Amino acid sequence: MIIKTLLSGDLPRSRILSAMLLAVLIGLILAPFVFPGARSLNVAATICVFVVLVASYDLLLGYTGVVSFAHTMFYGIGAYGVGLALNGMGPSWWAVFVGTSGALALSLVLALVIGLFSLRVKAIFYAMITLAVASAFAVLASQLSDFTGGEDGRTFRVPEMLQPGFRLLDTEILGRAIDGKLITYYLVFFSALALFLFMLRIVNSPFGRVLQAIRENDFRAEALGYRTVIYRTLANCLGALIATLAGVLMALWLRYVGPKTMLSFEVMTDILLIVVIGGMGTVYGAVIGSALFILAQNYLQVMMGKASVAMSGIPFLANLFHPDRWLLWLGVLFVLSVYFFPTGIVGRLRARALTRERP
């Protein structure tokens, strides 16, 4: 009953999906203790951030049917907001609060302006407008080198409790020191979990049902009395604010902000790929898609290197699995996932479960 309440009544409805979600949850909770090393912890933190970022984008694309290319802009605003505040005001929680508040306010204003002036046009024109705005913001961040650090970005110090040298306890727990890095990781994890449950609540509320009605047939929704422009604008604002918070979490984790890390179109491409892999219109798809994509992005090259060495006696296969070709195989895996899971992994698993439940 408690789990059903936490999930806003939106249960996975598939045993396989439930097992996958539970595996991801347990893996992220125990990552600092089970998977030692800085790289594995960085992968786990990145998964947490991308779950929030992708779910916030799916609120637009999957639930409302709005195609936007400005999502990385809001993500970057959150990262730059807290990063520049910490750099200018010093490593304090007050700086984190000021930077986060300023970033949220700026994102809300931009989302309102973009929504009110652009969502009245057709989908393709809205997508082009958001792409232009996001590109202009990325160029601006790169050129204001005295303020943002330009192409090199800026590094900054975080509050003492989040610094790697901080020790909460003198003793270790399960062989792991309770240091600032561990505290930062769990700050990212629990913040991401809270935001995920919040978005799950949104999409299962009456507001979320209206968004889905607009996605299916906006003319019918308008005829029923719903102001579709207002609902789309509200969805745009919610997605922007949550993406901003995802940027804040990533900046606190990396202790660095830069245009290539936060504002590049590659990040937007990754978001789109994860949404398609996990399944549009399913918040759970953000969890499964982010976990699979980030793991493949970080470990596929390593696995291919080991496979290439093992096949050294077969020149053709050794060259085929050379680590330099990992992007090729990542593309192949994406094509296969789209072919076998056209509605995404979560969509396919839920459809199978629904078919089995029917008499």
Q: What is the mean pLDDT of residues 21-45?
A: 90
pLDDT at residue 304 in the model: 75
For residue 217, the surrounding DSSP H or E stretch is none
Structure-token match 């609120």, residue found: 59
pLDDT at residue 22 in the model: 93
Chain segment 309-339, per-residue pLDDT in tens: 777 777 767 777 777 777 777 788 788 877 8
Q: What is the mean pLDDT of residues 85-90?
A: 90
pLDDT at residue 121 in the model: 62
Structure tokens at 51: 């779950």
> By residue range, what is the domain housing residue 253?
2-357
Structure tokens at 329: 């195989």
Taking the CB of residue 187, how many other CB atoms lie within 10 A of it? 16
pLDDT at residue 152 in the model: 84
Q: DSSP state, 159?
A: P
**Residue 130's CATH number:** 1.10.3470
Q: What is the mean pLDDT of residues 196-219?
A: 89
| Number of separate domains in the chain | 1
**Does the pLDDT value for residue 49 go beyond 90?**
yes
CB-neighbour burial class of residue 155 (10 A; exposed 0-12, middle 13-18, buried 19+): middle
Alpha-carbon distance values, 167 to 133, 176, 300 (Å): 43, 11, 34
- For residue 9, give the nearest of 278, 209, 231 by alpha carbon: 209
pTM: 0.92
Taking the CB of residue 256, how many other CB atoms lie within 10 A of it? 17
Residue 56 contacts residue 199 (beta carbons within 8 Å): yes
Structure-token match 């204003």, residue found: 109
Task: Please give the span between the terminal C-alpha atoms of the chain, in angstroms, as a whole number.
Answer: 26
Chain segment 110-122, per-residue pLDDT in tens: 998 887 776 666 6
**Does the pLDDT value for residue 75 go beyond 90?**
yes
Q: What is the mean pLDDT of residues 135-163?
A: 87
**Does the pLDDT value for residue 359 go beyond 60?**
no
